[in-house]
Amino acid sequence: MHPELFAKNFGSNRAYFQANSPWVLVEKNAGAIRGRTLVRIAIGDQDSLLERDRNFHALLDHLNIQSEFETVPGVGHNQKLFYEKLGERAFQFYRKAFGG
């Protein structure tokens, strides 16, 4: 994490940051998540966070937590373009997760 964002979001408290890392939390709570929570990772294929997200998806697989993983072609770290490229598919997951 960028040092400035770390300081702003976590008060420079590395222990708090580590304890609240998604990586730590998913391992700690895998039993509560597995089979009970829908998980989706969607990212642009040009996003600098792509490899990190692939690794997190691999961790979910390792923990036997079912998840969806999708890369969106031609998109970097740009939320507006991401949703434009996904079009109607952008909200299919939300309908499934919250549609009842």
Taking the whole predicted model, whether its pTM rises above 0.85 is answered as: no
What is the percent of the chain with per-residue pLDDT over 70, rounded to a whole number?
88
Q: What is the torsion angle, in degrees rounded to the nearest 10, for the CA atoms of residue 58, residue 96, residue 81 and residue 65?
A: -10
- Which value, to the nearest 10 degrees, does the dihedral of the CA atoms of residues 58, 41, 51, 15 take? -80
Report the C-alpha gap between 78 and 89 in whole angstroms: 17
- Structure confidence by residue, pLDDT tens digits, 40-85: 999 999 999 999 999 999 999 999 999 999 999 999 999 999 999 9
| N-term to C-term CA, the chain | 36
